[in-house]
Amino acid sequence: MFLVTGATGSLGRRIVKQLRAENQPVRAMVRLSSQYQELETLGAEICLGNLKENRDIVRACQGVEYIISAHGSGGDTEAIEYRANIELIDQAKEKGIKHFVYTSVIGADRGYQDSPVFKAKREVEKYLVSSGVRYTILRPSGFASSLIPLAQRFKETGIYLVIGDTQNRSSIISTDDLAKIAIASVTKEGAFNQIIPVGGPEILKREDIAQIFAKLYKKDPIILNPPLFLLDGARNFLGLVNPDLARGLGTLRTLLANEFFCPPEEVARVEQIYDFKLETLENFLKRYVPAV
Ligand SMILES: NC(=O)c1ccc[n+]([C@@H]2O[C@H](COP(=O)([O-])OP(=O)(O)OC[C@H]3O[C@@H](n4cnc5c(N)ncnc54)[C@H](OP(=O)(O)O)[C@@H]3O)[C@@H](O)[C@H]2O)c1
């Protein structure tokens, strides 16, 4: 039995679907307020609970063999990104769980002090590595699924918004590929006790993404490109009225101001461990936002 946290999120939902397609037993931890009917229909066991509550985590971990932590911070980094993962790891240790897959982020080890999420992920990584539980830490770059709404808007309007440097590079990972990798991590020996950066097969500048949209949807792109200092200004102002929200925006700023890509040797390592070819952004988008 797999436990998947964040089972209604863009990654978690795909993990649950793929597990059920393989007829694997899976427990999906979801909140009562989440949209989880689809997962239930697929045959996932629904475990209602909030990651802020330790007793819900303890209940969710009963009788599972594998844990895939795929939840997001939900606006409360300390409670959800940090403490909930620490509790999940403690439960994994106490209950002798066979393998723990943790979804971190590319660059978690770069010491971005402005981002609570990057800091929390690095601390969770360290805790997991020293826990004695068999693990795989995945450090994905940006998810292709995050671009679906942008592609949809582009298809309708031709508009593409880039905040900050249009030359910044990323290697967008197909969220479907990442789900497959997360699941395979519990059986592929090459993934045992490894930290694995996971990026797609192409290194793309942000302006290249507009060109991929243009090619797919046959529209000349109108690129809107506000400078990063506008975000800084808004953040400084917010800091006066809502310091917590201003701090939270540090993660967004970190993502916008830096590059997050995997060099070819890291892509080759992933393809070798998991034994399949990673798909391009264009391929992924054709499935989710078809041209016609
Ligand atoms: N998106 C990216 O580009 C990207 C890139 C690198 C790494 N990552 C990491 O990958 C992971 C998955 O990202 P994602 O984009 O798939 O996340 P997402 O779509 O934002 O989903 C977040 C999930 O966490 C759940 N959640 C939040 N607070 C919760 C709580 N208190 N109790 C129970 N569940 C809670 C949400 O449930 P509800 O449905 O109830 O809200 C949802 O299922 C995250 O750790 C993220 O940091 C993401």
pLDDT digits (tens, 9 = 90+) for 226-255: 888 888 888 888 888 888 888 778 888 999
Flag whether 286 is in a domain: no
Predicted local confidence at residue 230, as pLDDT: 86
pLDDT for the residue numbered 63 = 97
Pocket test for ligand 1, best of 31, 85, 195, 206 (most atoms within 8 A of CB): 31
Pocket of ligand 1 (CB under 6 A): 6-12, 31, 33-34, 50-52, 70-72, 74, 80, 103, 105, 140, 142-143, 146
- Give the number of domains in the chain: 1
Inside any domain, residue 208: no
User: Which of 3, 11, 176, 255 is the best mutation target for the ligand 1 pocket, counting ligand atoms within 8 Å of the beta carbon and taking the most?
Assistant: 11
Q: What is the mean pLDDT of residues 253-266?
A: 95
Which ligand 1 atom is the nearest neighbour of the CA of 81? 45
Alpha carbon distances (Å) from 239 to 77, 84, 107, 248: 18, 27, 26, 10
Compute, in angstroms, the gap from residue 175 CA to the centroid of ligand 1.
13
- Assess if residue 239 is contained within a domain: no
Q: How many Cβ atoms are within 10 Å of 144's Cβ, its own excluded?
A: 26
Taking residues 257-273, what's their average pLDDT? 97
Instruction: Tell me whether residue 59 is in a domain.
Output: yes
Please list, residue by residue across 190-223, b when 16 or more beta carbons sit within 10 angstroms of its beta carbon and e when fewer do: ebeeebbbbbbbbbbbbbbbbebbbebbebebee
CA distance 121 to 82: 7
What's the gap in Å between 191 CA and the centre of ligand 1?
Answer: 23
Residue 187 lies in a domain: yes
- The two three-digit tokens of residue 209, written as one number: 């993404």
What is the average per-residue pLDDT within 162-181?
96
Residue in 8, 48, 170 to alter for ligand 1 test, most ligand atoms within 8 A of Cβ? 8
Give the count of alpha carbons within 13 A of 93, CB side only: 13
Q: What is the mean pLDDT of residues 199-226?
A: 95
Q: What is the pLDDT of residue 26?
A: 98
User: What's the pLDDT band for 75 if we cut at 50, 70, 90?
Assistant: confident
| Residue 168 in domain | no
pLDDT in tens, 16-67: 999 999 999 999 999 999 999 999 999 999 999 999 999 999 999 999 999 9
Indicate the DSSP class of residue 260: B
| pLDDT of the residue at 210 | 95
pLDDT at 265: 98
Residue 292, pLDDT > 80, answer no
Cα 251 from chain centre: 14
CA 132/CA 160 separation, integer angstroms = 46
257 belongs to a structural domain: no
Question: In angstroms, what is the span from residue 281 Cα to ligand 1's centroid?
Answer: 21
Helix (H) or strand (E) holding 71: none
Cα–Cα distance between 99 and 119 in angstroms, integer?
23
Ligand 1 mean position, distance from CA 188 (Å): 25
> Residue 47 Cα, ligand 1 centroid: separation in angstroms?
16
Distance 104 CA to ligand 1 centre (A): 11
Distance 44 CA to ligand 1 centre (A): 18
**Residue 88 sits in which domain range?**
2-143+174-199+262-278
Write down the pLDDT at residue 248.
Answer: 78
Name the residue of 46, 56, 71, 206 to mutate for ligand 1: max ligand atoms within 8 A of Cβ: 71
217 inside domain: no
Point out the least confidently predicted range of 6-15, 108-117, 279-288.
108-117
What does pLDDT average to over the chain?
96
| Cβ partners under 8 Å of residue 249, min gap 6 | 231, 234, 235, 238
Q: The whole model's pTM is what?
A: 0.96
115, 260 in Cβ contact below 8 A? no
| Residue 283, pLDDT above cutoff 90 | yes
CATH number of the domain to which 126 belongs: 3.40.50.720
Give bridge partners of residue 45 from the DSSP assignment.
Answer: 27
